[in-house]
Each structure stands twice: as structure tokens, then as C-alpha cells.
Amino acid sequence: MQKSNIIFLKNSQSPVKILFLNLAALIIVLSIFFCLSLAAKGTTIDINNYETTHVSLASFNLPYYALMTSVRIFVAIIFSLLFALFVATLAAKSKKAEEIILPLLDILQSIPILGYASFAVTFFVALSPHKTLGVEMAVIFVIFTSQVWNITFSMHQSLKTVPQDIIDASIVFGLSSWQRFWLVELPFAVPGLIWNIMVSVSGSWFFIVASEAISVGNINYTLPGIGSYLGTAITQKDWHAIIYSILTTLILIILYDKLIFQPLVIWSKKFKYEMVNTQDVSESRVYNILSRSVLLKILFKPCVWFIKNIFKFNFRSPIALSTSKKIIFINEKKLNNIWYGAISLLIATLACYIAAFLYNFSSFNEITYVFFLGAVTSFRIIILIFLALIILIPIGVYIGLNAKLAAKAQPIMLFLAAFPANLLFPFFIIIIINNNLNPNIWLSPLIILGAQWYILLNIIAGVSALPRELLEAASLFNIKGLIFIKKVILPSILPYIITGSLCASGGAWNASIVAEAVNWGGTTLYATGLGAYIAQNTIAGEYHNINLGVCIMCFYVMLLNKLVWRPLYKLTEKTLHLG
């Protein structure tokens, strides 16, 4: 009781205001649990209902649809974070694991979102064959695949660029590897991670139409949600329903921003790597309510105590350090030979399998033609990312240096990033046909439409994470204008630019499937490229050609990452990072 009174006095607020803060915090927490429980109740419905029932376009259904979609995205983000914490950390800490994980992530990122749908439905429906829980898990998994790669790459980049001085300080203070990760490395990664969570959520909105209406064999599953509602509205050309779904999406994004993202961004600023105190101009009422609520502190005190003690627990090996070093030194060469031999054997096996598939199901002319289409799409994506960087770097730097503008622009950028590209298809088709334009050129902007936000938000995250003392030093030495951008800003944010470009590249390859084959009503326009090839063969049901197209797409993604992005990553790890 005495401790609670101290907390109340520290707040130096009236009892009425304190009561209001505690009630508001309790309402927010209970509302979250209520929404989760209401969504969970929908997983007990008979699965046969979703095989036959079509989504209703009645506007009064939108609140429930919005709730279901929001919960699916929220659950997918939780699993994406857990995946990134484990996989990105393993890749950052182990050179051998990194040699396997990064190419594997490149391949998984390049696989179209719809490529995961049939596998997900088959697997998860088998786990719950009579209830919608299996289909819900499948949809969440598909949404997970649209979020996780960006978050994982961001986490890996942050862990590889932790300033050496704070690593040295943790060694001096005797922190174990476990403690160093939770108390030093993860806090350093938090600011960039929060921004990439935001862009991943926006990316999942971009693919939500395809995620909530999936099929396996002759069975179609359409779950209630904003994505399925919008997909049905587009199919029926119901512009009123399309506008309703866009407005609902806008409201949801604003709620996500106010209730989740703004509090997280403000909370993450306490982990910003700088040695001077700065006055933060941004604020969040939700963050203020939650952080100042005494009731929540009392309710969650056991959980906080448990988490803090787990993070601070000192996991140390009982083996003496000198002995372990000798063992590692003696066996290192032998282990390396075994490791690289196993990798070579695995690659050779996969190469033989792919070669056998191509020999049995594809002709030489078909393979060379698809390689040509892949080169066309690859060239298109490289040009678009280069143009996007030229345009977005100045914009991102300007927004990132202005905290007030960043706070105002944040919900706008999240909405634009989540805006479904297929709503723009009819306008592009009308403009191209009426003006007799070349689809190979004028359909290309649709590829970068969703992917550009990975670049912009990563740039803003990089600029926002710059230490205040670095900016003050530049001001002290009168470094301004282009020299300031070239010598101070760009070297510091280059890791974020590369991460954003890498994720944008993967997103652009995915988007090429729908952007190079645009359909509205009875009119379809095709742009020459690998995306259009996969889309055409998907419609025709030519599964061997679909597999060939996906294999070639994976090859080009890995080639670009190996020749362009990975060398740039290594450069930033060695030279261009803070500390």
C-alpha cells in the first residue's frame, strides 16, 4: 500500500485524473482480450459453411469482418516476431548457419504468396478437418509469409551492425552471450524493428485479398474478412462496396496506428543509440495512459518480474574457457570440411532433382524462353528500385529529420502502403487502351507500387535512429547541404537502405505476377515478363510451367542477392555503421 501511494504522489496528478488513467488503461486491455476471444469463437464454426457460403456485401457486416482481419494480422505479426528472433539471431551469431539461412530466406521470399496457399490449406485443414480453425491457421500462415521476411532481414541487419563500443562495454561488465542479446543487442535493434513491423503489416494488407479467399483442388474457402469482402466487391464490380471496404481499411489502419504503432514508436525511442538527452516532440495518449497506469503496473508486475529475471539470467558453460578454445581449435578444420561437404551434397542433390524435372517436363526452347522472361522482369525491377531510391531517399531523409512531420505522415504512409493495387487496374487499363500506350512500360509502376514502402519506411527508420550527438557534431563543424547528406546521413543509413531495397526486390517479384497480367472485367493486358508467364499458366492450369517459372524466379532472386545485396551488406557490416 505504501509503494502504491508513492507512485500516486510521483504522478503529482489529481485523484480524478489518476482514476481516469487507470480505468482507460483497463478498458484498452479488456477490449483487446474481448476482440481476441470474439475472433477465437469464429474458429469453432463448421468448415462446410465456408465452402458454400459467399461473403455478404451488406455494409453492416463490415465491423465483424474488420475484427477478423485485424486479429489475423495481429497473430501473424506475433509469429513473425518469434521467427525473426530465432532465425535472424542464429544467422547473425553463426557464420555457418548464415550461409544456409540467408539463401534460404532469399528463396522463400521469392516464392509467390499464393504458392504457400495450397500447401497451407492442405496441411492445416488436416489438423482440424471439421472446424474452421484449420482454415484460419492456413490464412494466418499465408499472411505470415507476407510479413516475416522483411522483419527477419531487419533483425539480422541490426544485429550485424551493433556498435562495437557497446559490445566491448558488455564484455567489460561481464555479461554472458544470453544477457548481451537481451540487454544490449535486441534493444539496439528495436527502433528499426518497429518500423519494419509497420511496413510488414501494411504489406499484409496489400495481400489480404488473396489470403482470405484460398482454394485447394475443387474446394474454395472464403473466410469473413475485409480482404474477402473487397475481393467479392471487385468481382461483382460493386463500387459502393469497394468504397466501403477502403474506408473501413483506412479506419483500421488509423486504429492500428493510434493503439499500437504510435505507442511502440515512442517506447522504442528509449533504446535509441545516443549519449545526449533529447526532447521528444511526439506523443501518444495511449502510451501515456498505459505507461502511467498504476493498476496495470500492479496487475502485470509478476509477469514483468519473471521476464526481467529470465533476461538477466546468466547462462554460462561450466567448461573452462581455455579448454573449450583448445577443443574448438583442434576440431575446427574437421568440422568445416564436414559442414561444407554436407552443403555441397545438398546443393548437388537439389540440382539433380531440378535438372530431372526440367528434362522430363520442359523443352530446351521453353527453358531458354522463360530465362529470357526472367531477365526482362529482373531488368524491370532493378530499374524501378533504382528510380524509387532516387525519389525516396530525399523524401525519407527529410521526414526522418523532422519528428513532427514523421508523426503526422506515419498513418498516411501506412494507408498508402496498404492500398490494394488491384483497385488501380481499371484506371491503368482505361488509360493504356485509350492512349494506345505500351503495357510493357505503363504496367511497370504497378510492380513497385507496394514494394516502394519497404524502402521509404526503412530510410525513415534509419534517419530516426541517428544519434543526436552525430547531428550536433555535424552542426558544430558547419556541415550542411549536400555534404551533410553525402558524408553523414547516407553512410549512417546505408544498412537500412539495403535492407529496404532487398525487401522491396522480393516484394516486387511477388507483385510482378499480378502487375504484368492486369484484368478488369473482360479486358486483360499483359506485359512481357516472368510474372505474366506464371499468371497465364496459372489460369490455364499448366502446373509444370508454373513450377518452371517459380524455379527461374528463385534463381534470379538469388542471383541478384548474391551479386548486389550481399556484397553491400558485407560492406556496411565492416565499415559503414555506427560505432
DSSP of 75-105: HHHHHHHHHHHHHHHHHHH-HHHHHHHHHHH
* Fold of domain 22-316+362-574: MetI-like fold (1.10.3720)
Q: Evaluate whether 284 touches 259 at the Cβ level (below 8 Å).
A: no
The pLDDT mean for the chain works out to: 77
Q: What are phi and psi of 13, to 5 degrees?
A: -125, 160
- Show Cβ contacts of residue 295 under 8 Å, excluding neighbours closer than 6 positions: 22, 25, 26
Sign of the Cα pseudo-torsion (42, 47, 53, 55, in order) = positive
Average pLDDT over residues 205-225: 71
pLDDT digits (tens, 9 = 90+) for 403-451: 788 777 877 877 777 666 666 777 777 888 888 888 888 888 888 887 8
Helix (H, G, I), strand (E, B) or coil at 524: strand
Q: What letter does residue 216 receive in the DSSP assignment?
A: E
Q: What is the pLDDT of residue 375?
A: 92
Residue 213 bridge partners (DSSP): 222
Average pLDDT over residues 170-198: 84
Quote the percentage of the chain above a pLDDT of 90: 7
* Single-letter code of the amino acid located at 117: A
Res 234 pLDDT > 80: no
pLDDT band at 578 (very low <50, low <70, confident <90, very high): low
Q: What is the pLDDT of residue 481?
A: 78
Quote the percentage of the chain above a pLDDT of 70: 80
- How many whole angstroms separate alpha carbon 198 and alpha carbon 464? 15
| CA geometry: angle 400, 401, 402, nearest 5 deg | 90
| CA geometry: angle 202, 206, 209, nearest 5 deg | 135
Average pLDDT over residues 68-86: 90
Sign of the Cα pseudo-torsion (441, 446, 449, 452, in order) = negative
- How many whole angstroms separate alpha carbon 116 and alpha carbon 131? 21
Helix (H, G, I), strand (E, B) or coil at 219: strand
Please report, for residues 82, 163, 235, the alpha-carbon distance to residue 181 in angstroms, rounded to integers and kept in the order given: 15, 13, 49
Bridge pairing between strands 219-222 and 517-520: unpaired
Residue 131 bridge partners (DSSP): 46
pLDDT digits (tens, 9 = 90+) for 287-332: 777 777 777 777 777 777 776 676 666 655 443 344 444 444 446 6
Please report, for residues 300, 348, 368, the alpha-carbon distance to residue 364 in angstroms, rounded to integers and kept in the order given: 64, 21, 6
* Single-letter code of the amino acid located at 249: T
- How many whole angstroms separate alpha carbon 26 and alpha carbon 9? 21
Res 229 pLDDT > 80: yes
pLDDT band at 250 (very low <50, low <70, confident <90, very high): confident
- Give the highest mean pLDDT range of 14-18, 109-113, 505-509: 505-509
Neighbours of 283 (CB within 10 A): 10
Q: What is the pLDDT of residue 2?
A: 46
Residue 214 bridge partners (DSSP): 221
Element (H, E) at 321: helix 321-361
pLDDT digits (tens, 9 = 90+) for 22-63: 777 777 777 777 777 777 776 667 666 655 456 778 888 888
Whole-prediction pTM: 0.77
Of 43 and 532, more confident:
532
Dihedral angle computed from the Cα positions of residues 38, 39, 41 and 47, in that order, rounded to the nearest 10 degrees: 150
- How many whole angstroms separate alpha carbon 309 and alpha carbon 302? 11
